[in-house]
Amino acid sequence: MGKPLIIVESPAKARTIEKYLKGKYKVTASQGHVVDLPKKGLAVDIENDFEPQYEIRPDKRKIVKLLKDEAKKADAVYLASDPDREGEAIAWHVNSIVSAINPNTSRVLFNEITPKGIMAGLSSPRELDVNLFNAQQARRILDRLVGYQLSPLLWEKIKRGLSAGRVQSVVLRIIVDREREILAFDPEEYWNLSVDYETPEGKTFTAKLSKIDGKKAKVKNAEEAQGLLDRLIAARHEIIRVERKEVRRNPSPPFITSTLLQDAFRKYRYGNRRTMALAQRLYEGVELGRDKEPVGLITYMRTDSVRVSEDAISATRDFISSTLGDKYLPEKPRRFKVKKGAQDAHEAIRPTDVTRTPEEVERLLKEAGVKDAAALSRLYRLIWRRFVASQMAPAVFDQTTVDVDAAGLTMSARGNILKFRGYLAQYEVPEEKNGQESEDDKKKRLPHLEEGWILSLLQAHKEQKFTQPPPRYSEASIVKEMQERGIGRPSTYHSIIPTLLDREYVAKDEGKLKPTDLGVAVTDLLVQWFPDIMDVSFTAQMEGRLDEIEEGRIQWRSVLRDFYEKFSSKLETAKSQATNLKGMSRETDYVCEKCGAPMVLRWNKGYYIACSNYPECRTTKPAELLPDGTVRIIEPEVSSEKCPKCSSPMEVRTGRFGRYLKCTSESCGTTMPYVLPYTCPKCGQGRLSERRTRKGKQFLGCTEYPNCDFMTWDVPVNEKCQVCGWDYMLKPRRGRKYCPKCRLESEKQ
């Protein structure tokens, strides 16, 4: 017999493991699932108690043959797919293929792709976990039942080619509900009052109005604000309270999947899909140094547990002590509490070797010429710093709170002085600070103050404000919402929003998620006829039931029976009674401006009103159906641009790839990119317009192209350059604003 065979999912992981084992094992990859439900048909025998009808995937037949050939030569087979439900299902199906050829098979788990992690896994083989597999199988069948039976309903009632998903549709509902909150929001006016003070020692600070005659300050209009401002100006300002106390701030736990996605988006604007792809590479192994040796840099990245191994904690404390000193170590190691409902099979996301610093990894990645070296370095730095910081001492602040009495008006200020950096020496402190106090920190400081001091009023301010609606979700905040509501799992967080974007159920508006008319229509139909499936708490309960299957507490077929009994009944009712949007022709209060006939509300990817005298009159206008059932015409924004062909006005339209301009003349219909009011810094003749690459990434280019080739990925800011007087600056995604004119001049020199 030959060498033992290890079967993993990805070729990258296979190369890393084979390198570590120095030729003693043969390592190959299944490249994901080799067996699945076929793409065509339901492939679930409902009458036979939901028996799945699996088949070898057509694109994996060559791989299956290779696995069989290798298993035949091996003296033992180790199934080492990822340590989660999907990985267990892959191992289960691979086992069903190779065990007939080589019955000496067992399951092993690698939490980290390091020599230590691999040997630990190989030394503790186990049987396949039928409960873990059944949890994945139940989830797969549930998704197939929902997707393959709801999708035809959407084709019939809304638009052919649509699809529904058990978790994705609920996330879509959350986004739609937030949009309706925003539309229904009624802003309320309020005013802020503040005062600039000078102390008897000549120091200055600012305080804000907090109380009016002992009650919480609420200033609703300009008249009240002006009356209070006059009262402040005429008053005597005396410090009546100074409170000083020491405040300690503890570090956050190391990353789990959801928090990693949130911080990668917040700090680097990495989308969920990109973050997980980079993390997968760091886990499976990337090439380092001139020898290009593959090394697994982080532990498994699909986890919702903050647990950390004792070995890792000990090594991290030793590292902190040797590099920063014992004063940065808490007396006892930090152990974070795992939240209820979290799957505790894996550790938190951490570096496999804490002594491998981000600076070293960045250098070695560059030496190896690794693709996306900069992005991999950033994500590793984020994970490494968060983990090291999690075992460090708290940051300590001196917090001062001061209250000033001014004729019954209480003006308050609070300031923090960083006394000891603690964990902030590693995490959430930009590198360029170099341990120095930032400008924001300086603004928060208060001068020396004493009770009884009389302060000089330098200037009083009033500022009108309005309450703001809740913000739209970003890719990061929707993941946080999913985690808090208990829907989805670490293995699915990253894929849901890209799926909704691909289906055109949501679009990005300045980086935030906005539902399209299509997404709203799909949501409304599903909420009306399938309230359980679209209910957030029901979806969270279903995730809990899948967890119970994994724990062996309930039987997977019983979960499917309970679900399908209600679902199938509602499906039949919806087929016969749900409104068919494709055939919608609902009367409105609008009249056609061309022929005077009534306008009717119709549907095609979105709502619009059309002349009822069609086909004699083809007048249409974009419209929207408001939550209260009324119809409103969406008046297009008219641009200052003129059509280059017929000189008619151009109006702003929004399409799949963002804004564009279209000629208002029906006989012309010319389109062109959306033009911004910024002159090109290179040629001085054209202006900047929104364009997209072949892959859909937006940039700004000159309207005089191809005569002028200026382009930028950065965003214009209405701020004049103080050096050359250029009308605007450019702000990159990361980094400081700069003047495009000055940069071009310096490049010429």
Q: Inter-axis angle of helices 536-550 and 168-184, to 10 degrees?
A: 150
Helix (H/G/I), strand (E/B), else coil: 190: strand
The 8 Å CB, 24+ separation contacts for 397-400 are 397/246, 397/247, 397/248, 397/249, 398/244, 398/245, 398/246, 398/247, 399/244, 399/245, 399/246, 399/247, 400/242, 400/243, 400/244, 400/446, 400/449
CB atoms within 10 A of CB 469: 15
Rounded Cα distance between 710 and 693, Å, is 14
Rounded Cα distance between 307 and 423, Å, is 19
Neighbour-count burial of 147, counting CB atoms closer than 10 A to its CB (0-12 exposed, 13-18 middle, 19+ buried)? middle
Write the CA distances from 666 to 258, 330, 638, integer angstroms: 49, 72, 15
AA identity, residue 236: R
Q: Do 652 and 637 touch, CB atoms closer than 8 A?
A: yes
Q: Give the pair of three-digit tokens for residue 381.
A: 């730095």
Q: Give the pair of three-digit tokens for residue 270.
A: 């990495």
Per residue, the 3-state secondary structure of 15-54, as one string, reads HHHHHHCCCCCEEEECCCCCEECCCCCCCEEHHHCCEECC
Q: Which residues are catalytic?
A: 300
Q: Give the pair of three-digit tokens for residue 403.
A: 């209250």
Cis peptide bond N-terminal to 615, omega within 30: yes
AA identity, residue 355: T
Write the CA distances from 616 to 210, 581, 619, integer angstroms: 66, 23, 10
CB atoms within 10 A of CB 598: 14
CA nearest to 88, candidates 139, 147, 16:
139
φ/ψ bin of 122: left (φ > 0), alpha (ψ from -120 to 50), beta (otherwise):
alpha
**Matching residue, tokens 């339901």:** 42
CA nearest to 240, candidates 63, 4, 405, 103:
405
Per residue, the 3-state secondary structure of 191-253, as one string, reads EEEEEEEECCCCCEEEEEEEEECCEECCCCCHHHHHHHHHHHHHCCEEEEEEEEEEEEECCCC
CA nearest to 373, candidates 296, 300, 282:
282
Neighbour-count burial of 649, counting CB atoms closer than 10 A to its CB (0-12 exposed, 13-18 middle, 19+ buried)? middle
Cα angle 543, 548, 553 (rounded to 5 degrees) comes to: 160
DSSP secondary structure of 652-711? EEEETTEEEEEES-TTT--EEEPEEEEE-TTTSSSEEEEEE-TT--EEEEETTTTT---E
Query: 598-603 and 607-611 as β-strands: parallel, antiparallel, unpaired?
Result: antiparallel
DSSP secondary structure of 473-540? P-HHHHHHHHHHHT-S-TTTHHHHHHHHHHTTSEEEETTEEEE-HHHHHHHHHHHHH-TTTT-HHHHH
Q: Give the pair of three-digit tokens for residue 298.
A: 């982080």
